[in-house]
Amino acid sequence: MPSNALKPPKTSKIPNIFRNQIFIPIAALLILAVFNLIADPTFFRITLDQNSNGDPVLNGYIITVIDYGSELAILALGMTLVTAASGGQDISVGAGIAIAGSVLLRVLCGADSRSAELQAPIIVGFLASCLVAMIFGAFNGSLVAFFKIQPMVATLILFTAGRSIAAWINHNELPIVSDETFSYFGNYIPGIPVPTPFFIAVACFIIMWALLKFTTLGLYVQSVGINEKTSRLNGLNPELIKLLTYVILGVCVAIAGFIKVSRLSTINYSVIAKDIEMDAILAVALGGNALSGGKFSMGSSILGAYVIQFLTTTLYKFDVKSDALPAYKAVVVILLVIMSAPAVREKLSRLAKKLHPAKAAAENS
């Protein structure tokens, strides 16, 4: 096409919405919200109750969503970067959470799994688990970056072995932390009615926002994900950047593990964060990010994570058995994935144009 004849494509606002990445999670959220509103508006009711300790806490399904969506949203941050840079996903984050949680408990409880007091400050435990998760992240990352193994295959190793490693760290015992302050992080801080994980998640969002705003991480990650050869010729080190994204995901895993363990003050190696990797990957996909890497939108991924939690909570509310949950989820996932397919979005966008022929004509002239 003659480029000189190309005019700036002035699309009207309506088709633009369909093309925008964040459209999918927003649409999904709206559909779920409307569904709940019609089926049972009490879904949105939030009450201020008192918990067993007599502290005020907010109650309601929406609170459940923002509470239990926290781990997923935090994982989605790292998963988005990993996906963008390496064009693949880390399926070992669930196992990683088990390992990080196990290390945390090992440090906090020491040798005695039923110790009455903390053997180390919580922060030390957290930092230790963080370090271990970062090392495992680096392990995954180096397999992907230096040995060029497909991410799913590379992380299959820890996916398989991770929970056994977690059990081995504590000699297969299930330590229990009796210290009450430890449970604040996964539940409520006395006097504050909003669940703590939400604050932790928000803090993570802010840190990630700052990381993307005040460093060139976003540009580098996208550039490496789109064209590795070009990136190298522009002075980047693609291997190092890929490795870095896996290490960042490691930090996210440690934080998510910290919340998960704190919720119960103990751990169950085979059940903790089970299948969370699939939800995390889904959050990235739902956010409209290409799973083959390249451009990403962090905000869309975060929203995607909460939409998934919203869906899960909705299903629980309608008494769907936890065994049947995945089947229901699958139906919704199919719908979402079809909706996010470029072909369908293009159609929608054309449909919108047809509905506003006057505008479309103005564009073409």
Partner 1 sequence: MRENSLLEMRGIYKTFPGVKALQNVDFTLCEGEIHALMGENGAGKSTLIKVLTGVHVKDGGEIFVKGHANAVSINSPKQAQALGISTVYQEISLCPNLSVAENIFLGRSENRIISWRKMNKRADELLKELGINVKATRQLASCSIAVQQMVAIARAVDMDCSVLILDEPTSSLDESEVAKLFVLMRKLKARGVGIIFVTHFLDQVYEVCDKITVLRDGKLVGEFEIENLPRLQLVSKMLGKELDDMADIKNDAPAYTSKDEVPVYEGRGLCSDEGISPFDFNIRRGEINGFTGLLGSGRSECVRTIFGADKVTGGTVKMNGKEVKITKPIHAMKQGIAYLPEDRKRDGIVGDLSVRDNIILALQVKTGFFKPFSKAKATEFANKYIELLDIKTASVNTPIKSLSGGNQQKVILARWLLTDPKYLILDEPTRGIDVGTKVDIQKLMLKLASEGMSVTFISSETDEMLRTCSRLLVMRDRKLVGELTGDQLTQNTIMATIAGGEKNAE
Please, which residue, 4 or 47, has the CB nearer to partner 1? 4
How many Å apart are CA 308 and CA 277, to the nearest integer?
Answer: 13
Binding mask 1-40 for partner 1 (x = CB under 8 A): xxxxxxxxx-------------------------------
Which pair of structure tokens corresponds to residue 315? 């299903």
Q: Binding to partner 1 (CB under 8 A): which residues in 269-328? A: 294-295
Using an 8 Å Cβ cutoff, are 162 and 96 in contact? Answer: yes
Q: For partner 1, which residue of 77, 217, 280, 332 counts as binding (CB under 8 A)?
A: 217
- Pick the piece of the chain touching partner 1 (CB under 8 A) from 110-118, 161-169, 233-241, 327-335: 233-241
Distances (CA, A) of 9 to 12, 15, 71, 189, 264: 9, 12, 41, 52, 54
Using an 8 Å Cβ cutoff, are 156 and 266 in contact? Answer: no
How many Å apart are CA 93 and CA 81, to the nearest integer?
Answer: 14
Binders of partner 1: how many residues, by CB under 8 A?
Answer: 33
Q: Binding to partner 1 (CB under 8 A): which residues in 237-266? A: 237
Which pair of structure tokens corresponds to residue 360? 């479309």
Distance in Å, CB of 338 to partner 1, minimum: 22
Please, which residue, 231 or 313, has the CB nearer to partner 1? 231
Which pair of structure tokens corresponds to residue 156? 């299959």
Please, which residue, 248 or 315, has the CB nearer to partner 1? 248
Indicate the SS3 state at residue 330. Answer: helix
- Pick the piece of the chain touching partner 1 (CB under 8 A) from 42-50, 63-71, 222-230, 265-273: 222-230
Report if residue 214 touches partner 1, rule: CB under 8 A: yes
Paired strand residues for 246: none
Start-to-end C-alpha separation, the chain = 17
How many Å apart are CA 287 and CA 299, to the nearest integer?
Answer: 8
Q: For partner 1, which residue of 42, 50, 53, 234 counts as binding (CB under 8 A)?
A: 234
Q: For partner 1, which residue of 76, 236, 303, 332 counts as binding (CB under 8 A)?
A: 236
Indicate the SS3 state at residue 49. Answer: strand
- Pick the piece of the chain touching partner 1 (CB under 8 A) from 145-153, 168-176, 212-220, 261-269: 212-220
Please, which residue, 16 or 270, has the CB nearer to partner 1? 16
- Residues whose CB falls within 8 Å of the CB of residue 247, separated by 6 or more in sequence, listed in order: 134, 137, 138, 141
Q: For partner 1, which residue of 232, 274, 356, 359 counts as binding (CB under 8 A)?
A: 232
Please, which residue, 191 or 235, has the CB nearer to partner 1? 235
Distance in Å, CB of 1 to partner 1, minimum: 5
Which pair of structure tokens corresponds to residue 116? 């009455």
Distance in Å, CB of 229 to partner 1, minimum: 5
Distances (CA, A) of 18 to 10, 55, 179, 349: 15, 45, 50, 6
Distance in Å, CB of 364 to partner 1, minimum: 5
Distance in Å, CB of 295 to partner 1, minimum: 5
Q: For partner 1, which residue of 213, 322, 323, 331 counts as binding (CB under 8 A)?
A: 213
Query: DSSP strand E in the chain: where?
Result: 47-50, 56-59
Tell how far CA 122 is from the center of its chain: 24
Contacting positions for partner 1 (CB under 8 A)? 1-9, 213-217, 219-220, 222-223, 226-227, 229-237, 294-295, 363-364
